[in-house]
Structure 1
Amino acid sequence: MLEWNNVLALQGDNNGHTPLHFAATTVPGNQKIRSQVLKANAEALYQPDHNGSFPVHMAASVGATSVVSEFIENTPNCAGLRDARKMTFLHVAVDNKKISTVSYACKNGTLSWIFNMQDKNGNTAVHLAAQAGSVKIFCCLFRNRQVQLNLTNKKGETPLDIAYQNIPKGLHAYMHSEARILSLLQYAGAKRGIRHQDYLEKNNIVQKNQGEIDEMGKVKDAPQSLCIGSVLIATVTFGAAFAMPGGYRADDHTNGGTPTLAGRYGFDAFTLANGLAFTCSTMATISLMSSGSPIRHPRSRIEHLRIAYYLMSVSVTSLVAAFALATYTILAPLAHKTAIGLCILSSLILLY
C-alpha cells in the first residue's frame, strides 16, 4: 500500500496519530514496520499529532529507548523536535520517569545540544528532574558535564530553587529523594535564581515556623502509639528471659535449674538477640517518655523521638531474630527442614 501511495504514511486518525506514532510505542516486531514507513516517506518522522507530539516523543513517553535510538541514528535532527509544550524527547522521558531513555540520551555525546533546551515554561530537563524527585533520573543528568545547573525558567527558578521548594516537611525529610537531590545540587555549587532569592528567604521563615508547628503536632501524637509497641516488646522479651526454650534441668542434676539447651550456638545467639531486643525496647520507651514531656525543649523532644524510632527498629529486628533462633534450636534436631522454613518465614517480617 505504501508503494502504491506513500502519502498514507502521513495520514492520521482522530487524534492525529500516524502509523509511525503507533509503531513507535510498541517495540517487539515493529522494527520492520517502522523501516518500511520511513523508507516509503521519511517525512512521517516529522509529522506531529494533534498534541504536537512527534513519533520520537511517543517512543520516549513509553520508555521505548531502542526506538528512540533507531530514530536518532537514522535522522539525528529529530532529537531536537519539540511538541506543543516545546518539549524535546528528553523532556518527555524525564517527565514520564523513563530512566532508560534518559540514560541513553545522557550517554550519547551527539545529543549534548538538546540537554539545555527549555520548554514553554523555560524548564530544562534537569528542572523537570528536580521537580519529579527521582534521584536516578536526576543523577543521569547531573553526571553529564554538558548539563547546566544554573539556568532559570520563566519564573526565575533554577533547579536548586525547585529542589528546595519540594523538600517535604517532617521529622524524616532528610531521608526523602528530594533532599538528596538538593544535597547534590548544593555540593556541585548550584545557585538560586536571582529573582527568587528574596522570595525564598522570606518564604523560608514562614515555612520553617509552620514546619515546626507541624512537627510538634507529630511529636505529640507519635509517642502514644509507639510507646505501646515498645512496652509490648519489652514485656515479651522480659518473659522470654525466664521461660527459656527447651526448659530447665531438674533440681537433682549437677547444674539443676539451668536451661537444658545452654551452651549450644543457637541458644547463645537467642539469648543475645532477646537481650538486645529488651534493651533497645526499654531505651525506646524512655526516649518516648522524654519526647512527650512538655518541660523539654521542642528540639530535644524531636531528637528523642528520632532516637526512639531507631531503637524500635533495632528491637523489632532483634525480636524476630530471637524467635527464629529459638524455633531453630528446638526443632532442628528432629525437623531440620521445618526449622529452616520457619526461620525463612520469620525473616519475611523484616522485608515489610
Structure 2
Amino acid sequence: MAAVANASSMHPELLEAAMACHGSCRELTNLLNGGAADVPIEVVVDVDHPARPPASSLLLEGVTPDGDSALHIVAAYGYLKKKARAVYDKAPRLLGAHNGGGSTPLHRAARAGHAAMAALLVELARGEQVAGEDGRVETLVRMQNGLEETALHEATRAAQMPTMAELMAADPFLARVPDDGTAPLFLAVSLRHEEIARELHERDKKLSYSGPDGQNALHAAVLRSRGCASLRDARGRTFLHVAVTKKRYDIIRYACQTPMFSSIMNKQDNEGNTALHLAVEVGDWWSFTCLFANKEVDFNLPNNKQHTPREISVSSTPTGLYCLSHSWILIQQALISADATLHICRRNIMKKGPSSQSDAKIDAVISNSTQFLGLGLALITTMAFGAAFALPGGYRADDHLKEGTPTLSTEKVF
C-alpha cells in the first residue's frame, strides 16, 4: 500500500474542516470541490507525470507533521462518516496510506475507539473488493504499522470491544496476525483487559499466543496478575498440573525457576495430587527433574489415597526387565536418594484391608523388579565375560588332525 507523500503540508482550512466536531461536512465538501481555499498550497510536481491533477487531489496531497492525511484525521476524530466518505471519493488511495508511524486510517479509528468509523472503512474496502480487487478487506485489516501491529492491536490496547468486534467480523482470523511477534491476545493479557482477552479467544480458538522475546500469553498472565497463578480448573488443577500432563517443559521450567510461583508448587488437585505426583505417575523424567530441583517441592505429601510420590513411583513401574536409565527407575532412585517417604503410616499399626493389599502389591512389584533386574544383570555379565574368551571361528573338531586348535590359527590375520 502507498505511503502518504511528505511533499506538502496540509492546508489549514482542510485540517480545521476535518477536525471540526460541529455542523455538517459542508465545509469539507466545499473545499474538496474547489471552494474557499484562498491560502496558497505548496506542492511538489512529479516530473514523470506532468499533467496537472484536479484541485481536490492537490489539496489532499497535504499531510500533517506526523504524516497524517485528511482521511487519517477524519478517522481519528470520527464525528461524521460522511466526511470520511467524501475524502475517500476524492482520493481512494488514502484508505491504505501510512502516516509517519506506519499507521493507516483504520489504525487511527481503532485507537480512538470509533467502531462505526472502522466499520465504514472496512465497507469501503469491501466495495473495492467487489470492483475487482480480491482480498481487499483482509489486506486492509491486516496492514501493520511501524510496530508490526494491526488495527486490532489498537482496539485491544484501547479496550474497545465494539471496535474489536467489527474488525474480527471483517476477518475472523485477524487475531493470528502477526505470525511471530506480539499477538493481540498477549497485549490484552499484559494490559489486564480480561474481557477483551476472553472475547478474542472465544472468536478464534487457534489465535496466536505469541509475545516479544519468545514469551507467550501465559508469561504475560502470570507476570501481570498474581491472583492468576492459583486459579484452578474443574478438577482442581493449577496451570502447573496441566503443564505436567501436557508435557509443556518450557512452562514447567519457567514456573519452577520463578520464586513468585512457590505457593503453587505443592497445591493439590481434587484427588490430592500435586504436580510431582502427576510427573511421577506418567514417568516423565524431564517434568520430574524440574520439580525435583525446586526446593519448595515437598516429596512426602500424600494424596487422597495416602500415596506419596515415592509410592506412586513404585506402583507405576511395570514388572519386567528395564535398562537402568529407564525414566521410572531414575525417578525411583532420585526419590530414594532424597530419602522420600514410602509409607505414611507404620506397618504395625495399619489396618488389614485394601491398604494391606496395596502394600503387598508394592512389595511384589519391588521384589519382581529386583529379581528381573538382577537376572538381567547376571545374564549380561555372563555373556560379556564369555565373549572376551571366545575365539573367532571356534576350534577344530576332535576328528581333525589338529584337534582342539583354533580354526583360524593358520591365517595371517589370526
Relative to its length, the structure with more helix (as a share) is 1
Q: Which has the larger radius of gyration?
A: 2
The structure showing larger relative contact order (alpha-carbon pairs under 8 Å, at least 6 residues apart) is: 1
TM superposition score normalised by structure 2: 0.43
